[in-house]
Structure 1
Amino acid sequence: MNGTLLRSGAVFAVKRTTEVHCHAQNLTGWRQDYEQTSPGLFEGLVREYQDSVLQIFEEIANRSTTQYCQTWDEGVWFGLPVEETGQNLLYMGHALRPNQMMVAQGRTLFDLQVPEGFGLYGVVIKAQQLQTAWKLAHAMDDDSKAAAWQLEMPRVFNLTLPTRLRLSGLLREALNNLQAYPQVVRHAGSVAALQSAILSTLVQVLSLENTEPTVTLRWRRRLDLVHRARSLVLSDPASYLTVDQLCQALYVTRRTLQNCFQSVLGMSPAAYLRAVRLNRVRQELLQATPGQTVIDIAARWGFWHMGHFSKEYRILFAEKPSQTLKRSRAMAR
């Protein structure tokens, strides 16, 4: 999927899926890669409104996920937990505190560790429209002073409780009304009014300028190490790199790698990389070509003991790999 907002007309949709990689694709214009990290059958839901300027959505899944995200290039993303606490959500490896709002530019990759059953509101708005509204609100006639939301590094805004409730309430009300009366998106007046309501509220929130970066230089090194380890595993499944071989390839000690994974992802390198490989097997089973077998796909990702593989797969996804392949064959008919 490319990084451009795909539709110029206003559209509202409710999207449901039972596959984590499909859930990642259900936000229009985003480039995303999700991995399921808690066991059980997956169910994901996205409610999304989007037009040529604005995208608002609610996203929730019943299983924990690791998410690697990048929104469309011209946009600025603002993320807010549906619940007030935001407890146990990790943004760039850091626990989100109550009443914090996440911010990232469209050209910036960010990652999330999302607990099961955790809902997120999202707003993406074209940077040009946001900049225009910002300048009007602050009587600015030049771009010399960059606002915090314009900085490339992912950040969080510390909101007051009333401000947080005003923004989350507006998003909830907008999505609920759009779901109840989807025909309103056919009218330019209602689209313009919705854009104005979201934009003016965002400008008020951002005017507080109570912000902080999510990533220090030291933390950036930890994140980069985790990302590089994952990329190595995904780029060459035939090599089946062990944790010790990853350490050698990354020029770090086993203890350093363990500490980085534990602090950023909350799990060991071995546990996370096993989940990554199992997710890739499931994705390939669902996209299998005629003649491919469970054994072929599992072995390609380094699983040689089919009994152990089948057990681990069944624990994570609540079905046998043969059942996944069977469903894939049935859907292809």
Structure 2
Amino acid sequence: MKPSVSDHFAPSKCIYTARDAQEQAENLVNWQQCYDQISAGAFSGVIEELPFEDLQVFKETTSQSLRQQCKVRADAIWLGLPVRSSQHRLPRINGLEVGDNQLMSQPGAVDFELVTPDDFQIYGVVISTSTLRKAAETLGVTVPKISGAQAKVCLTHQQEVRLSQHIELLLALQDQKDIPSIPAAIQTERFIQTLLDVLAIPHYDKSAPRSYEQRKRVIEIVKAYIDANPDKAMTITELCETAHVSRRTLQYSFESQLGISPLQFIKMRRLNQVRRDLLNAETGAKISDIAIQRGFWHPGQFGRDYQKLFGELPSKTLARSVRRP
């Protein structure tokens, strides 16, 4: 059970660990999420969260590259700031790369997609729109409406440092058991002031190329076709005909948006679906039956592909099923 938030004192920091990507997704409260693992190997993840009233602050760590389908509650906005790293691979939001000094943003009740590299960390903030608007009015600050189309806000280096340091300070304060707790209202007010400093005069990144919307549309068509035909063997020609594009356009759309080929995407997506099915399987369920329902007709090859991606055999996953006694 998730802890409740006191009316007067700052909330205790919650730490959730996971060894499965979907388990990681479900550890974030008040989110609708589905995580697919892309890179090969055993998964580990950690979420450090502070559940203030009308404000959620967290730091998420994931060991493997992921494709994340996300949506926050309707009355809130989400802000995501990748932790600076020396690695060259950049995260993507809705297919757009996110570089240094860029803050991701999305309104509530809107589906969005993240593709994150392995060994990745991100600071996250979910705040009630009414709380943010009220604070802005009190301070005489105008905050433009955040829309799904404006996925990236450009920051100065100083703004990025200030925001990341403030989040780290909030998380660290809850570990200091030997000092008096700062009331939640004061911590929230100070942090919202930092957010308003970032959002008051936002500069949205509008660098998406003209072909971006077409590539995004191609991928959505193919995703829908794959999900509608879960056990069907598919060819590149078939996918091209479905999306009404050339082989070259199909390949480029997936590689530029998701970093993998169409066939790699199909295998990755279906293996992750099998994993979720295994973790939710009832007593008596057979691995071969579940695999066939997702288009894996050759048990030996399926077992090798599954173990390569997740670092364990399907039988080990099935043994952990949450629905088995």
TM-score by length of 2: 0.89
CA contact (8 A) 1:100 1:158 kept: yes
Letter in 2 for 1:107: A
> What secondary structure, in the 3-state scheme, does the structure 1 residue paired with 2:79 have?
strand
RMSD across aligned C-alpha pairs, in angstroms?
2.6
1:223 is displaced (CA, Å) by: 1.7
Query: In the TM superposition, what whole-angstrom CA distance separates every residue of 1:65-86 from its partner, at most 9, and x where no partner exists?
Result: 0111111111111110122668
Q: 1:206 aligns with which of 183, 195, 199?
A: 199
CA contact (8 A) 1:77 1:125 kept: yes
Q: 1:311 aligns with which of 297, 304, 324?
A: 304
Letter in 2 for 1:231: A
Q: 1:175 aligns with which of 171, 175, 178?
A: 171
CA contact (8 A) 2:52 2:188 kept: no
1:137 is displaced (CA, Å) by: 3.0
1:180 is displaced (CA, Å) by: 4.5
| Distance in structure 2 (CA, Å) of the matches to 1:297 and 1:139 | 55
Letter in 1 for 2:166: L
1:305 is displaced (CA, Å) by: 1.2
Q: How many residues align?
A: 319
| Distance in structure 2 (CA, Å) of the matches to 1:221 and 1:179 | 48
1:25/1:215 CA distance change after superposition, 3 Å: farther
> What secondary structure, in the 3-state scheme, does the structure 2 residue paired with 1:121 have?
strand
Higher percent of residues as helix: 1
Letter in 1 for 2:156: T
| Distance in structure 2 (CA, Å) of the matches to 1:183 and 1:249 | 62
Q: 2:123 aligns with which of 121, 126, 136?
A: 121
Q: Give the alignment of 1:28-47 within 5 angstroms.
A: 28-47=29-48
Bigger mean CA deviation after superposition, 16-25 or 248-257: 248-257
Alignment correspondent of 1:64: 65
Alignment correspondent of 2:324: 332
Letter in 1 for 2:147: L
Letter in 1 for 2:169: E
1:27 aligns with 2:22: no
1:301/1:180 CA distance change after superposition, 3 Å: farther
| Distance in structure 1 (CA, Å) of the matches to 2:93 and 2:76 | 19
1:182 is displaced (CA, Å) by: 12
Query: In the TM superposition, what whole-angstrom CA distance separates every residue of 1:231-281 from its partner, at most 9, and x where no partner exists?
Result: 322233133443332222222222221111011011100001100000111
> What secondary structure, in the 3-state scheme, does the structure 2 residue paired with 1:25 have?
helix
Alignment correspondent of 1:143: none
CA contact (8 A) 1:155 1:213 kept: no
CA contact (8 A) 2:141 2:200 kept: no
Alignment correspondent of 2:266: 273
Bigger mean CA deviation after superposition, 45-54 or 242-251: 242-251
- Percent same amino acid at aligned positions? 30
Letter in 2 for 1:13: C
1:312/1:134 CA distance change after superposition, 3 Å: same
TM-score by length of 1: 0.87
Q: 2:147 aligns with which of 133, 148, 151?
A: 151
Q: Give the alignment of 1:131-280 within 5 angstroms.
A: 131-138=133-140, 147-181=143-177, 190-213=183-206, 218-280=211-273
Letter in 1 for 2:288: I
| Distance in structure 2 (CA, Å) of the matches to 1:12 and 1:323 | 32
In structure 2, stretches of 5+ residues that fail to align are none
CA contact (8 A) 1:105 1:154 kept: no
| Distance in structure 1 (CA, Å) of the matches to 2:246 and 2:169 | 50
In structure 1, stretches of 5+ residues that fail to align are 1-5, 141-146
Q: Give the alignment of 1:288-307 within 5 angstroms.
A: 288-307=281-300
| Distance in structure 1 (CA, Å) of the matches to 2:126 and 2:87 | 20
1:101 is displaced (CA, Å) by: 0.8
> What secondary structure, in the 3-state scheme, does the structure 1 residue paired with 2:189 have?
helix
| Distance in structure 1 (CA, Å) of the matches to 2:225 and 2:178 | 44
Query: In the TM superposition, what whole-angstrom CA distance separates every residue of 1:175-198 from its partner, at most 9, and x where no partner exists?
Result: 1222454998xx8x6110121111
| Distance in structure 2 (CA, Å) of the matches to 1:134 and 1:318 | 48
CA contact (8 A) 2:152 2:204 kept: yes
1:173/1:32 CA distance change after superposition, 3 Å: same
Letter in 2 for 1:136: T
> What secondary structure, in the 3-state scheme, does the structure 1 residue paired with 2:60 have?
strand
Q: 1:284 aligns with which of 277, 284, 299?
A: 277
Letter in 2 for 1:293: K
> What secondary structure, in the 3-state scheme, does the structure 1 residue paired with 2:27 have?
coil
| Distance in structure 1 (CA, Å) of the matches to 2:294 and 2:73 | 31
| Distance in structure 2 (CA, Å) of the matches to 1:198 and 1:89 | 25
Letter in 1 for 2:106: A
1:213 is displaced (CA, Å) by: 4.0
1:124/1:86 CA distance change after superposition, 3 Å: farther
| Distance in structure 2 (CA, Å) of the matches to 1:285 and 1:123 | 32
